[in-house]
Structure 1
Amino acid sequence: MCSVDEVVERVDAQDRALGPVSRRDAVRKGWLHRIAVAVCHDRQGRILVHRRADQVSRFPGCYEVGIGGALGVGESYEQAATRELEEELGVSVAVRYRFKFLNRSGLSPHWLGVCDAVVPRAVMPNSGEVAWHGWLNESDLPRILQEWTFTPDSPEILHRYFGDRPDGTSVR
C-alpha cells in the first residue's frame, strides 16, 4: 500500500541503489525506483486477476495480474512481494523471484521485479486495494486482456511470465 510519504530507493539504469527518496518525488521527477509484483496461481494453474479499488491513487478500477507495490529501502523484490501479498490478499506464502525488467509503462519508469506464488483459492482481499478478484485459466487471458481495461504493465508481465517456457507458447 502506498502512503503519501513512502520512502523508496532511487536506482540507476543497472538497478543499483543511489539513495532514499520519496515515492512521490520519484514518480513526479521520473526517477527510477523499484516495484515488485507477484503473479499468483492456484494449484490447478489458474491465475489470479483482480480489479483495483476505485479509491487507489494509481490506475483505480483497472484490472491487474500482479499483486505488488514499491520496495522499501533495503528490501528485496521477494520481501516486497511477500509483504504486499499479506497486505492486499491476507495470505502469507512463499514467493519465487522470476525476472525483472525496466518498465516504462505507467506513471513513471521503474524496475519491475516479477515473482510468482502459489496461493490458496480462499483469499481475504483488502477492500481498500482490491475491489474484485477471480481465478482465470491461462487460455482465457488473451481474450480478457483485449476486453477488460488492465494496468499498462499487465500485458508485458504476462508476456514475459509465460514467454520463458520451453514450449515457447505465450499469452499475448
Structure 2
Amino acid sequence: MSVGPDTVCVVDELVERVDAHDRVLGVVSRSETVRNGWLHRVGVVVCRDGQGRFLVHRRAEHLSRFPGHYELGVGGAAAVGESYAQAAARELTEELGVRASVRLRFTFLNRAGFSPHWLGVCDAVLAESIVSDPGEVAWHGWLTESEVRRTLRQWTFTSDSREVFDRYCSR
C-alpha cells in the first residue's frame, strides 16, 4: 500500500485490560475492549475553582460518544502504564488547555456508557483560565453544588455524571 500526503491513518489507543479487581490482564486496543465489553481504566478529573464551584462542560456535537451531552468530569482512557491521575491530568491539558495538580479521590466499577470500565475519579482546583479545545468542548461554565444538582435533572448529561457527582459529594 502506498501512503501519500492525503492518506489518513487512524491509530487505535493501547490500554490495559483489567479484571473485576482492577488487576492488569494484558495490553489490548481500546476499540477491542469496547467491542468485547472488557474492563479497562478511565481517569476523570472533577474540577473546582477557588470558590468551590464545579466545572461543567458540554461535549462537542461531532464526538462519537455522547455528542452534545453535558459532563462533570474531564477525562479519558488510561494509556498503558498510566495511572488514573496521569490519564486525568493529560486529558485536562488536552481538552481544557490547563495544567493542574490532580489527586485521585476514589475508583469504582462503572457499567454506564458504551462499555464497562474502572473509573478513577480525581479532583483538581483550577486557578488559571480555561482555553478549551473546540473539537472536544462546545461550552463550559462554573456551577455551585446546588446548580449542578438542578442541572443534572434538567440537562442531558453523560451516563456516569450523576454517579460521579453523588460519590464525589459523599466523600
Task: For residue 120 of structure 1, report the CA deviation from its aligned partner.
Answer: 2.7
Report the CA distance shift for 1:73/1:33 in structure 2 as closer, same or farther (over 3 A): same
Q: Does 1:90 align with 2:133?
A: no
Which residue of 10, 16, 32 maps to 2:39?
32
Task: For residue 116 of structure 1, report the CA deviation from its aligned partner.
Answer: 0.1
Q: Does 1:136 align with 2:138?
A: no
Task: Give the aligned residue type for 1:61.
Answer: G
Matches within 5 A, 1:161-172: 161-164=168-171
Task: For residue 121 of structure 1, report the CA deviation from its aligned partner.
Answer: 5.4
Q: Does 1:43 align with 2:50?
A: yes
Separation of aligned partners in 2, 1:25 and 1:53 = 24
| Structure-2 residue corresponding to 1:167 | none
Task: For residue 4 of structure 1, report the CA deviation from its aligned partner.
Answer: 5.3
Separation of aligned partners in 2, 1:105 and 1:121 = 32
Matches within 5 A, 1:143-158: 143-158=150-165
User: How many equivalent pairs are there?
Assistant: 162
After superposition, the C-alpha distances for 1:93-112 in whole angstroms (9 at most, x for unaligned) are 10011000000000010000
CA RMSD of aligned residues (A): 1.0
Secondary structure of the 1:124 match is coil
Task: Give the aligned residue type for 1:10.
Answer: R
TM-score for the superposition, normalised by structure 1: 0.92
**Percent of pairs identical after alignment?**
65
Which residue of 8, 18, 21 maps to 2:15?
8
After superposition, the C-alpha distances for 1:10-35 in whole angstroms (9 at most, x for unaligned) are 00000001111111110110000000
TM-score for the superposition, normalised by structure 2: 0.92
After superposition, the C-alpha distances for 1:59-89 in whole angstroms (9 at most, x for unaligned) are 0100000000000000001111110111000
Separation of aligned partners in 2, 1:138 and 1:116 = 15
Q: Does 1:57 align with 2:57?
A: no
Separation of aligned partners in 1, 2:65 and 2:15 = 16
| Structure-2 residue corresponding to 1:168 | none
After superposition, the C-alpha distances for 1:36-72 in whole angstroms (9 at most, x for unaligned) are 0000000000000000001111101000000000000
Q: Does 1:108 align with 2:80?
A: no
